[in-house]
Structure formats: structure tokens, C-alpha cells
Structure 1
Amino acid sequence: MLDLAILGLLKEGAMHGYELKRQLGQRLGFFWTVSYGSLYPTLRKLEAGGYVERIPDADSRSRRRQVVQITAAGEARFLDLISQRSTSAWEEEKFPLRFAFFTYLPTETRVWLLQRRRDYLLDRVQEGESGLRRATRGRADSYTISLIRHGVERTRLDLRWIEDLLLAETTPHSKETT
């Protein structure tokens, strides 16, 4: 997953490791945190695979300072990672990360991913409503019921957001992000 995030950011330009970490925090910090302990080993792995390369920092006076940039192989790897059409629940957890880089995907892939997310959220709403019915019939306390209700409402809100995005993707001349 970190591979995808790093390659996606490097599509926008070469960066130092600390700048990558800062950008990851700004873009994905609400959903995901990255430590230097995971960032640098992933960068080394991507470099060993030929997906990124180190180049001299044009803005530095020191020849030793380097930045990391994506390679052509990295571009291809990025598109492969972001476009994977898996249907596992684990893949659904990647949605916020993929969404951060939707601009690089063809419309067909974006629509497919949005439809998968919609289906996942519909299942979650049904499970939540079923759990809420069981909780209200059973011995659940008011806090548990409130927590389940909150989860269902939050999932419905996400579902409406996804449906709005799908509508924007499939309606001609209406490609604005909601």
C-alpha cells in the first residue's frame, strides 16, 4: 500500500524522503500514518525494483543531496497497483489511498472502483441495520445502540458521497468532484 502512495506522490515530482513523509501526512494523515521506519525501507525496495531512482537535488549546492524520482517502470507499476480489480475486503480498505490518486485513472477504472465501494457500503449499511435491530430487541444498552446507529448513519453518508461521485463520472459534462 505504501508503494502506491509513494509512486503516486512521485508522479507529481521528485522529492526528498522527508518531503514524501510530509506529503503523505497531508494527503492521507486522516486515514493513515507513515513512519520513517516504513518509508525508507519501502523506498529502498522500490529503488531495487527499478521503480524509483535517486538523482542529484537541483536545488541544493551539495552534490551529495539527492531526491527520489519515479521511473518509467515506476509509472507502469503505479498504474498496475491503482487499477487492480480485486474484490477482497482488504482491497476496500485501500479506497481512500486510491481515491487520493483518482486523477491518474481512466474513467472506466474510476467508475469500477466507485461501484465496488458503493456495493461494499451497501453491504455495511445492511449489516449495520440488522445489528441495530438485534441490539434494540436484545439487552444492548443505550450507548451500544447509539454507537451502532452512528456507524450506520456515517456509512449512509459515505454511500451518498460515492453515489454523487458515480453520478458525476457517468453524466456527460459533469466531471466535477463533489
Structure 2
Amino acid sequence: MLELAILGFLADGPLHGYQLRRLIAHLSGHSRPVSDGSLYPAINRLVNAGLLDRHTEPGASAAQRHTLSLKSAGRAELLRRLREPDQPDITDGARYFTILAFLSHLPDIADQHAVLRRRLEFLEQPASFFHDGNRPMSAEDTTDPYRRGMLLIARATSHAERSWLREQLAQPA
């Protein structure tokens, strides 16, 4: 997802590595911090693959700054990753939010809707953090207040997301 975030933010325009790290950190939140030890190797992989351009420009002081920009091959790769996300990119909430953050870069609304439909299909499957035998537990099935809280929060979040997805999918393609 780190590489997707790099491609996505650079699709909005050229950035310095520091700016890119801050944007990715804001997107991923405090639960998944981005270290220089993961960001810069990912940038290097994308540069070496011919997806990004890196050029040097003078910095505010003596240090030079590297500006990154998306090449046409990088834009094509971004669109491919958005159009054809792996299943964990649909089922994992944080990974899905990274897809969602850049989905508007897909020019064809039918392609956008295909991704949203996959997420909606996933959310409509019965799920729970806890099971009673083979049956998913609901908030009403447990007396543990913390598990009940988890289940109620998950239910409300899922309901809100499904409602939003249906609203988006009702838009003409």
C-alpha cells in the first residue's frame, strides 16, 4: 500500500520526499507510521522500475532537495492498481482506504463502481470478531461489555459504509 500511496500522491503533482512522507503519514494515521527506512526504499524501487522521475534542485540551505514526479508508466501503474486491487486491498479497512483515497484518479466511473461493488459485496457477507460454534456472534449474544462495544461499533461503521457505497453506486456511470 505504501507504493500505491506514493503513486497516488504524486499523481496530484510533484513532491519532495519529506512532503510525501507527511502526506502518507496523515493518510495512514498513527497506527501505521511511515519510516524513512520503508519510504525511501519504496521510492527507489519505483524510480528503478521507471515509474517515477527524481531530479535534484537547490534547497533552502546548502542541502539539495530531490523532487519526485510521476512518469506516464507510473500513472499507468497507479490506474492498474486502482482498477484491479488485490482481494486484501478490498477486505482490509486500512488498505481499502488507501484505494479509496485515490480512486477518483480512475477516469472511468464504471471502473470506480466495480471497485466499490467489490467492497459492498464483501461488507454484505456475515462477519463477526467472535463466533459461537459456527455462527457469528452479534452484540446481543454477548454479556461482555467490551466485546459488545466492539460489535456495536463495527455494526454501525459497516452500516454507514454500506449506505455510502449504495449512494455512490446509484450515481450514473
- The TM-score bracket by the shorter chain reads 0.7 to 0.9
Tell me by how many angstroms 1:167 deviates. 2.9
| Letter paired with 1:122 | E
Equivalent pair of 1:3/1:42 in contact (CA under 8 Å): yes
Do residues 170 (structure 1) and 161 (structure 2) align? Answer: no
The equivalent of 2:91 in structure 1 is 92
Give 1:103 deviation, angstroms.
Answer: 1.5
Supply the distance in 2 between the matched residues of 1:90 and 1:160 (Cα, whole angstroms): 20
Contact residue 16 and residue 66 of structure 1 kept, 8 A = yes
Structure 2 contact 89–99 (Cα < 8 Å) conserved = no
Q: Tell me: CA distance 1:14–1:166, structure 2 relative to 1, closer, same or farther (3 Å).
A: same
**RMSD, matched Cα:** 3.1
TM-score by length of 2: 0.78
Select the structure that is richer in strand: 2
Match of 1:118 in 2: 120
Aligned residues: 167
By how many angstroms is 1:62 displaced?
6.4
The separation in 2 between residues aligned to 1:18 and 1:7, in whole angstroms, is 15
- Alignment map for 1:113-152 (pairs within 5 Å): 113-125=115-127, 130-132=135-137, 136=141, 142=143, 145-152=144-151
Q: Which runs of 5+ in 2 are unaligned?
A: none
Give the drift of 1:30: 5.1
Following TM superposition, the consecutive aligned residue runs of length 4 or more in structure 1 with deviations greater than 4 angstroms are: 58-63, 126-129
Residue by residue over 1:34-90, the C-alpha shift from the partner in whole angstroms, topping out at 9 and shown as x without a partner, is 11110000000000000001123487586942211110000001111122154x346
**CA contact under 8 A between 1:114 and 1:162: conserved in structure 2?**
no
Q: Aligned residue for 2:103?
A: 102
Structure 1-normalised TM-score? 0.76
**Structure 1 unmatched ranges of 5 or more:** none
More helix by share: 1
